[in-house]
Every structure is written in structure tokens, then in C-alpha cells.
Amino acid sequence: MSFSGKLKFSSRAFLSNCRLFVNKYHKPIFTRVIRSGYHCCSFPLKQNFYGFPVKFHNLFHSQVKAMGALSSLDPSSFSQPDLAVMKHVSLVLNVDFEKKVLDGTAVINFEILQDIGELILDVRNLTIEKIELEDGTPLKYKVDDEVPNFGSKLTITLSKPATTGDKLKIRIKYITAPTASALQWLEPSQTSGKKYPYLFSQCQPIHARSILPCQDTPAVKFTYDAEVTAPEEFTVLMSALRGEAKNNKTSFRQPVPIPAYLLALAVGVLEYRTLGPRSLVWSEKEEIERSAWEFAETEKYLQAAEKLCGKYEWSQYDLLVLPPSFPYGGMENPCLTFVTPTLLAGDRSQADVIVHEIMHSWTGNLVTNRNFEHFWLNEGFTVFLERKVAASLIADTEEARRSRDFHSLLGLQELNETVKEELGVTNQLTKLVVDLKAVHPDDAFSTVPYEKGSLFLRYLEDLVGGPEVFDDFLRSYLNNFQKKSLDTDQFKAYLLNYFKDNEILKTVDWNAWLYTSGMPPVIPNYDRSMTKAVTTLLSTINNDSVTLNYNDVKSFTPHQIINLLQALIDQSPLSIERLRSLGEEYKIDSSKNTEIVYRWLRLCIRSRDLTKLNDAFDFVNRQGRMKYVRPIYRDLYAWEDVRERAIENFLKNEPYMMHVSAYTLRKDLHLNE
């Protein structure tokens, strides 16, 4: 996923939302068990399906069972995949735009790993109509009370005990809720065409449970097929290979195992253009030509990625340009990356987002974090690879090296703001490996796993001898863990074994990097030649006696302008007069590049320029990309004179936002306290 925004953690909101957990989840025994990486059970096991040894903590298990807690394998899931694991799902769904629901059936294939009498799945606001075996034998089931933000535990009682090695097929007929957290149902007025409604999903991190009953944990990977019925005018797309579309029904198959968060669905009146031999771009007709031009080099990016990482395993790589309310820059759904229309800059300057999503085809989709406490294994690796691949597209070796380091410095700027200004240097969410007991993974999203994770990998690369040495390790790592899920301890063990003859790795302070809050303990010696001009100009801007002129920035790339604006955000606000002069002379106030517009509006808010307030509201109302919307709302909240207007604007537009956007913005605006 392309980063969505940052979080200012509110302990009051956290305690309010999670009061069911606080007293018991903070017991020392829980912390010890989770940190050890072992699984808990009330009867002897030889080995679980991850291949880890199992320790026995009967006391802990009884405490968890008594309070109906989430799984010891994943603090965000109720499921118990160490006992029975999903292997395949067959979906038959009907899209009902009038009722704003999906209704249908899910046939789930399970592999039984231990003798059991029941199955446990994750659900959220699903209406279960019936559950039965493949032969039609009805099964009893129970849906527990909802745990706020996490959904409910679905317990299915088997008609007879299942034993190790058995295969089971369970058929569940159900209907989603109109408020399903993974789905956004758009009215025609919210689309470009203004004539037809639109539906799209966002399942990461733990919203798949609002679309289907499942083991909603990235530790579990399954294949799937689907048949989706929608009105005749509509195109149906999924995170799978698209089959026949006939009689309002479209078929799909995903032969590569995926975690539940990569299940994706979009239904709209769409067109497509061919980008290359394995890529199409889809969008409403109003954006299709711009989209085809903006993403025309997709095949070049795929080939560069394969050169570094190995064969692309997903066969098809399509792009879907969604309506503006999509909350992320991009989402790496297999075979069909979702992207925001804010990438349509007209100059291909935001191609790094596409490269980022392509790299997820290896890191995240093929090799996956075991749960979202280890999210850096998805995003840190992806940012690291994104910058390597983007640099490899530059013919001049020295220029490529400088460009890679420059983009790393841009990331370091954002990381610095996140850690020091937004989260705070002592916040546990600034660790690479975080503790998500009773914390929703949406609350933990920030630049930290992206940029701190990427920086850690760059540190390791430099330490072991540079790209010439580290690239071979990367390919070995990806090959060894493909189609698997892992945690940080497994990554560390594999790295140390691969470089077992390299004594320098003994100098790595693993605790400081992985489990300590704040900024990284070491900052690599990046080449700063591309930032020198920006640093020099910053001194000029801060000297009010010097007249600003367009020639100051005439040779700057869009990313150097971004670097300049971010540096201005990080310092004390400019006077309104100086800022207006900068915007006019440097042609920043007329830019169409959303990365520039976003930072420009933040500067105007910080300088308390009331004349730009409506522009800021228009910007956050036009699109829902949280990377932009959340910092702007936080800046507006900090401006006491306009705080109530900002809250009023949010409340007016909240009904048109996707769940994750409204949920996180409510926290930013302190509306849940």
C-alpha cells in the first residue's frame, strides 16, 4: 500500500475504544507469550502449520478463552489457523446497489491440522443466513457480541469431530451490511460520469471480515475463485485473473495464495486501455485517456522489477484508477492495483507510486508479514525495493545513485516529522515491531514502517558490502519465503544465516532498531548533492531582504520543489506576505501536482492565511487520499480560530468518506474523546 497518512496517538481515545481489553491484555504473561512468537493451546501439539515449535501456556489460554479474546497468533484476529486453516474459497456474490449489500455464498475449504469439534472465523456485521457442510448437512453456529472495531467471533460447531489431516468444505450463505467497513458505495454524484453508482473495496488491514467470513489474518493464505453478478452496464473487477463476462455474471480465479486483506472488488461503468502485453488500465471514461498516458511505462517498471526480484508470478498487472474518495495512493491488490486519481499529474512525476505497488507483488503479496505487528516487513522492504528499481531506470550510474539517495532523504524528512512532531519520540508506534494488543492496525499506520523500515534495510545493505552483495540476499530471501508469511525473528534468522561468515553483522544493535521508539539509531551517509540547492535556497527564502525570483527554482525537478516545501513545513511559519510572494514568484500557488498543492496548503494554514482556507476545504473535499487529508485536518485543528469550521466541514462530508478515512479523521479531530 502506498502510505496513507500519519497518526497522532490519543491515549484517551485508545482507552475509550478498547476498555474491554486494557486490564487483562496488559498482563505480563500475555506480553511474554506474544513476544516469544509461540502459539498457545490447551492440549499438546507437536508442530503448527508455520513450522514453529509450540509451548504450552494453559493458564494464559484459559484466561483468553474466558474473556473471548482475540487469537494469540494475531492480536487482530479471532481465528485459530493453528488448528484448521483456510486453503481455498469459492465465492458467489450478487451486487445490490439499491440495498448497498453483497449477498451470496462462500464455500471455504479447510485443512484440519489438529483434532477439533469447531471452527472459528472472523466476521464483522455480516448477516449469516445458514451454514452447512458441502453435502447440505446444517451446522450450528454462534456469532459473539461485537468487539468495537474488530468485529465478532463466528464459532461453527461441526456435526462430528474432525481429525488431523481431514479436508472440510463449509458453505456459508450471508449478506453484508450497508455499512461494511471494507466497502464504499458511491452515489452517481460522487463519480466522474455522474450517471451510475460505483462500488469498491479496501480490505487491508482487517476489513475482509466485513465482506466474507474468513480467517482475517495475513498468516493465512488461500486461493480463490468467484462469480459476481452485477447490472448489465457495469464492469466487475477483482484481485484475480478475469474470466468470462456473460449474462451479468463475471468469473474470476486467483491461483496464487493470498491473505484475506488482498481480496478486492470493484464494480463501475468502466473503460480500459492496453498498456502492455500483461497490463490494462481501467477507469471511468472521463479519466481513461489521461490514465493511459500517465501509466504508459508500466511494462518498463515491471521488467526492471523482475530483473532485481525474479519472475513476476501473478500473470496480469492491471491498474484501476478509482474515484477521488479512495483513501490511499495505491493498494497492491494482486493482478489489479487500485490507484488514486491524484496520481494523474500530467507529467508522470508520481510514477514512484506505481513502482511501489509493483514491488508489493514480491514484498507483501508473495512474502507477507505474519501479522500487522510486523508490517515493516511489507512496507519497509517495498519502499527499499521501489527506490532501487526506480534508480535502475536511470542510465547514468552516478545519477542513479544520487537519485536513490535523494528520494531516501525525502522519506527521511517525512519520517522526522512523523516521529518528532506527530507521534512523539517515546510513542511505541514509532518502533519497527509494534505491540497491537487492543490497538486496531488502522491506528498504527504511519510513515514509520515504510521509512524506518527502508532505512534499516539500507543500513544493513551498506554494512554487508553494498548492493552487489545485498541484492543476492534479497533474491534468496524472496525465493525462500515466497507464498509464505513470516515475522521479524524469521527475517533476522535468515539474514544472519545467509551472512554467517560476515562478522560485521555482530555490530547491529537489533533491539535499538526493532524494539526502541524514536528515530533510527543510525542514519546512512546519503549523497546530499541534490538537496544542496534546496538548502541554499531555503536560506534565501528566510532572508526577507532578498527578492524572490522564478529563476531560483527554474531548474528544480518536481521532487526538489517537494523537498523545499517539506523543509519549510519543518521550520517556523513564514509571514503571510513572504509566503504569498513565494507562491506567486515560484508558480507554486498555480501548480496542478497534488504533492505540491498539498504541501503548499499546509504552509498557508501554518502561516494562518485565511484567504486560503476555502482552498484547503475544497482540496480535502475533492479527494479522500489520507496522506493529504489527515495532515491538513490536523493543521486546521491546531489553528484554534478555524477549528470549529474544520470540524463542521468534516462532519458535512463524513457520509461520503470511506470507513477508514472517517474513522481516522475522527481521531485526528478528537471527536471520539
Smallest Cα–Cα separation from 68: which of 107, 124, 24?
A: 24
Give the C-alpha separation, 597 to 350, whole Å: 13
422 marked among binding-site residues: no
196 marked among binding-site residues: no
Backbone angles phi, psi at 263, to 5 degrees: -70, 130
Q: Is 450 a catalytic residue?
A: yes
Side-chain half-sphere of 300: how many Cα atoms within 13 Å? Answer: 10
Pairing between strand 336-339 and 318-321?
parallel
Which residues touch 281 (CB under 8 Å, ≥6 apart)?
272, 273, 275, 288, 291, 292, 295, 298, 318, 319, 320, 321
Catalytic residue (choose from 294, 357, 461, 595): 357
37 burial via Cβ count (<10 Å: 0-12, 13-18, 19+): middle
Q: Quick one: cell of 237?
A: 473487477
329 marked among binding-site residues: yes
Give the C-alpha separation, 227 to 460, whole Å: 46
Smallest Cα–Cα separation from 413: which of 270, 254, 535?
A: 535
Q: Quick one: cell of 324?
A: 477521488
356 marked among binding-site residues: yes
330 marked among binding-site residues: yes
Spacing of C-alpha 327 from chain mean position:
10
Catalytic residue (choose from 317, 450, 526, 628): 450
Q: Quick one: cell of 343?
A: 496520481
Q: Quick one: cell of 66?
A: 474466558
Task: Report the DSSP beta bridge partners of residue 253.
Answer: 225, 241
627 marked among binding-site residues: yes
Give the C-alpha separation, 261 to 481, whole Å: 19
276 marked among binding-site residues: no
327 marked among binding-site residues: yes
Q: Is 287 a catalytic residue?
A: no
Q: Are 486 and 373 in contact (CB under 8 A)?
A: no
328 marked among binding-site residues: yes
Q: Where are the alpha helices (DSSP H) in 310-452?
A: 351-359, 376-392, 397-417, 441-444, 447
For the chain, the 3-state helix, strand and coil shares in percent, each to the nearest 5, are: 40, 20, 35
DSSP string, 557-619: -HHHHHHHHHHHHTSPPPPHHHHHHHHHHTT-TT---HHHHHHHHHHHHHTT-GGGHHHHHHH
DSSP string, 481-495: HTTEEE-HHHHHHHH
332 marked among binding-site residues: yes
Q: Are 198 and 234 in contact (CB under 8 A)?
A: no
Backbone angles phi, psi at 98, to 5 degrees: -70, -45
Smallest Cα–Cα separation from 210: which of 142, 143, 151?
A: 151
202 marked among binding-site residues: yes
Smallest Cα–Cα separation from 240: which of 145, 315, 342, 340?
A: 315
Known binding-site residues for Zn(2+) equal 356, 360, 379
Known binding-site residues for a peptide equal 202-204, 327-332, 625-627
Query: Which residues are identified as catalytic?
Result: 357, 450
Known binding-site residues equal 202-204, 327-332, 356, 360, 379, 625-627
